[in-house]
Structure 1
Amino acid sequence: MFGDSLVDVGNNNFLSDSMLKADLPYNGIDFPTGKATGRFSNGKNAADFLAEKVGLPTAPPYLALVTSDSQRKLNDSTNAMVTGVSFASGGAGILNGTNEAFEPIPLTQQVEYYSIVHNQLVQEVGLACANTHLAKSLFVIVIGSNDLLTYFDKDSQVSKQYTPRQYVDLMASTLKQLMKVAPMVRRWETIVRVWGINPAPPDLL
């Protein structure tokens, strides 16, 4: 799971310098535990509902699984890698400069984290088994709205550099390039089953 606050299940709570955290009591008031979980919601979010739909547990936040050792190994790595990991971060965008002052995990870093998990999976089960597993996996990307909000902010500098169409084209080309460098099985177009760029009103484009 890659994306922003619509599917962040707690990664931002592990970012010590980030101002974008969902750790206040009302953030989890309607969650089954009644406590804040790092979701930017009063209860479950889109990641939870999708997991329920396909009959899997919600993928845990990547940063909750990472230990402090230099090799960045995952605790309980086998279960996490088999059932899924979430790299989503509230405030993140396709472009690195989006919400940079608030220090979310940009999509480029999320892809790097995925590369770590991919390599760990190969070490655990071997390349052939890893490829077979990933070929049957569901990759979800929910991102883009923060980039658009940044563009249309009244103090935006990027709106002075690009027309709306040029900016959207930049978002699309950047996303395509990131997916090409990710170590997925076969070509990325055949692996990404669901590709969601958060919508914006047509009159903004």
Structure 2
Amino acid sequence: MEQRRSVHHHIISSRFLYSSSILWCSFVLVLLFTTTTNALVKLPKNATFPAIIVFGDSIVDAGNNDDMITEARCDYPPYGIDFNGGVPTGRFSNGKVPTDILAEVLGIKPSIPAYRNPKLKPEELLTGVTFASGGAGYVDLTTKIAGGIPLSQQLKYFEEYLEKLKKMVGEERTKFIIQKSLFVIICGSNDIANDFFIVPTIRLQYDVNSFTALMANNARSFAQALYGYGARRILMFGAPPIGCVPSQRTVAGGPKRECVDRFNDASKLFNTKLSANLDDLSRTLQDTTLIYVDIYNPLLDIILKPQQYGFKESHLGCCGTGLIEVTALCNSYTAKVCPIRSDYVFWDSFHPTETAYRIIVAKLLDRYLSRFI
């Protein structure tokens, strides 16, 4: 038992900085359907949005980090064990991630590809891509720690994407697609879990109040930048109950691995500031289609009442011991995988299973998307 603890402590010190985009710093930026005059793709007649465009962290990364030297990547088994024949794509889950599920449910396409995928087909651009990167945060240092793609670079890729669209369908059609598509941004978890509570020098510069204010201000600036590009249907997700994620329970939850209050309190503080910032920005822009999405309470309810949602385990991940395994530690050589993934809320120690994502997406669809229709 002592040997196992020492191994966990070693893992925490050497691997844990990456610490995921944990639940959701994350989610997606979505672009959905409309009909298009371009012959490259035929869009469904009943589509509500032309495409799904996604920004953020590992919750909605579909492989943008695959060619990078970083631990924030998972393009190897058992990741993707339940995705499209069991082929790992760089998605931080056993199967689909929330953006994929949203696109599927809305009838856009089976999944949202990574923009940096070298095999990406041009016609895929018309119905949406994800620019999200595992390890990304609203604070630059957060992304540097993980070795991911910062939001500023994700925006540059988006600018590149816009130019490609213009060449394909023209400027007017591109403007229409951007205005009618659904943008989803999921970020913030890494800032709290892997930056503020991990890096001592950060806490010399900020207390939790000023750090979460920095996060929320940067999030507002990002949303305003998207609005400036013409986006008019923007969902920006708050932070999840980070203190109840398996890895955080293991690291800071004590002998009983309880939820870590100070982590959850930081998430709630950020969410309050983010919601207020977006409300203020909506008033300034005189536009109500910039919406804050509460992910904290829906996920917490699933974690605290797993049986009500059909789960048997919400304190451990499915991969390995479920205590700390994520990315390189969750591999087919050293980590066994639970046989029934749908029994688990979490796939690894940071990211939910596809089953959990499907429940969460269903919870959010009616509440938020109806405001855009």
Q: Please report the TM-score for the alignment, with normalisation by the length of structure 2.
A: 0.48
SS in 2 for 1:198: coil
Which of 145, 148, 156 lines up with 1:101 in the alignment? 145
- Please give the residue correspondences for 1:56-95 in structure 2 after superposition, counting only pairs within 5 Å: 56-57=108-109, 58-65=111-118, 76-77=121-122, 79-95=123-139
Aligned match of 2:63 in 10, 16, 21? 10
Q: Which runs of 5+ in 2 are unaligned?
A: 1-53, 242-262, 270-373
What is the Cα deviation at residue 107 of structure 1? 1.0
CA distance in structure 1 between the partners assigned to 2:203 and 2:191 by the alignment: 11
Aligned partner of 2:171 among 127, 142, 156: 127
Shift of 1:101: 3.4
Deviation at 1:4, TM superposition (A): 0.8
The one of the two structures with greater contact order (alpha-carbon pairs below 8 A, sep at least 6) is: 1
* Structure 1, unaligned runs of 5 or more: 67-74
Change (3 A) 1:154 1:38: closer
Other-structure match for 1:191: 233
User: Taking structure 1 as reference, are residues 12 and 133 closer, same or farther at Cα in structure 2, changes over 3 Å only?
Assistant: same
Equivalent AA in structure 2 for residue 124 of structure 1: M
Deviation of 1:121 (Å): 1.3
Residue 153, structure 1, aligned to residue 197, structure 2? yes
- CA 1:152/1:102 → structure 2, altered by over 3 Å: closer, same or farther? closer
Q: Answer yes or no: is the 8 Å Cα contact 1:26–1:36 preserved in 2.
A: yes
- Which residue matches 2:155? 111
Partner of 2:73: 21
Q: Distance in 2 between matches of 1:104 and 1:151?
A: 14
> For the Cα contact (< 8 Å) 2:113–2:129, is it kept in 1?
yes
**Structure 2 letter corresponding to 1:18:** T
How far apart, in 2, do the equivalents of 1:98 and 1:154 lie? Answer: 10
1:142 lines up with 2:194 in the alignment: no
| Counterpart AA for 1:184 | Y
Q: CA RMSD of the aligned region, Å?
A: 2.0
My pick for the range that moved more, 153-162 or 29-38, is 153-162
Decide whether the 8 Å contact of 1:14 with 1:63 is kept in 2: no
Report the TM-score when normalising by structure 1. Answer: 0.84
Q: Which moved more, 1:42-51 or 1:83-92?
A: 42-51
What fraction of aligned residue pairs are identical, expressed as a percent? 37
Measure how far apart 1:181 and its partner are. 3.1
Structure 1 residue aligned with 2:208: 164
Q: 1:35 to 1:125 in 2, by over 3 A?
A: closer
